[in-house]
Amino acid sequence: MPSSMIHLLAARKHWLQGPSSYFAGTLAPDAIGERTFKDALHYRDQPQRLSALAGWVRSHDMADPYTHGFALHLYVDVLWDQGPQVDFRALYKDGDWFLPYRNAINEASCWYYHHADWAPACWNQMADYCRALPRAVYCGIPAQALEDAVLRNQHWHQQHSPASSGYYTPQLIEDFTTNAAEAFARWSAAVVNAESD
């Protein structure tokens, strides 16, 4: 799993002019941190994550911006977990990789927040969207949990401004998000088209 700014960067590359609901959707799967729930939601408990995700896509309205962003998040996580995260874990032969990993992706996320001119406005728009969202459950995420997560992460990014990550460099993040956005466009179109055949 990458950080929120990495998700937002991939989301912008996939749909630059997407509405606030789309960008909120691309953060929503991480709104509830309880590990068992989160792993199930991200299909980490499934041997074929992309096949499971394809089933989710076929059962949801991908024309809805929030749902589209939600699916993008889950897809990006699959690619990240199989690529940049695996590569990082390989550096820690003793298995004690998680805290250094979290530090590295947090550094990358903060760097992007403070160097991407679009970031503050994007977060403000998501916060406004979440405050106005009717109190219901959206793709398994309660509206209040989503609002709390967006506001908490927005504040955290505002308060932290580290240097770029020594491992997850801006170039690595740019390359990954470009490839992930393009891959999701192809994959999701194929899934939706296969359903309509």
Separation CA 66–CA 31 (nearest Å): 14
Query: pLDDT-based confidence at 7, cuts 50/70/90?
Result: very high
pLDDT tens for residues 116-141?
999 999 999 999 999 999 999 999 99
Query: 197 in a domain, yes or no?
Result: no
Phi, psi (degrees; rounded to nearest 5) at 142:
-65, 145
Query: 196 in a domain, yes or no?
Result: no
Separation CA 106–CA 55 (nearest Å): 31
Closest Cα partner for 10 from 158, 174, 160, 122? Answer: 174
Tokens 């992309």 belong to 50
Q: Which domain holds residue 126?
A: 4-191
3 state DSSP class of 137 = strand
Contact 184, 72 (CB under 8 A): yes
Share of the chain above pLDDT 90, in %: 90
Query: 78 in a domain, yes or no?
Result: yes
Residue 161 pLDDT greater than 70, yes or no: yes
pLDDT tens for residues 28-53?
999 998 889 999 999 999 999 999 99
Query: 175 in a domain, yes or no?
Result: yes
pLDDT tens for residues 80-103?
999 999 999 999 988 799 999 999
Query: 54 in a domain, yes or no?
Result: yes
Query: 46 in a domain, yes or no?
Result: yes
Residue 86 tokens, joined: 């695996």
Query: 79 in a domain, yes or no?
Result: yes
Q: What is the 3-state secondary structure (H, E, C) of 55-95?
A: HHHHCCCCCCHHHHHHHHHHHHHHHHHHCHHHHHHCCCCCC
Count of the separate structural domains present in the chain: 1
Please, what is the average pLDDT of the chain? 94
Query: 98 in a domain, yes or no?
Result: yes
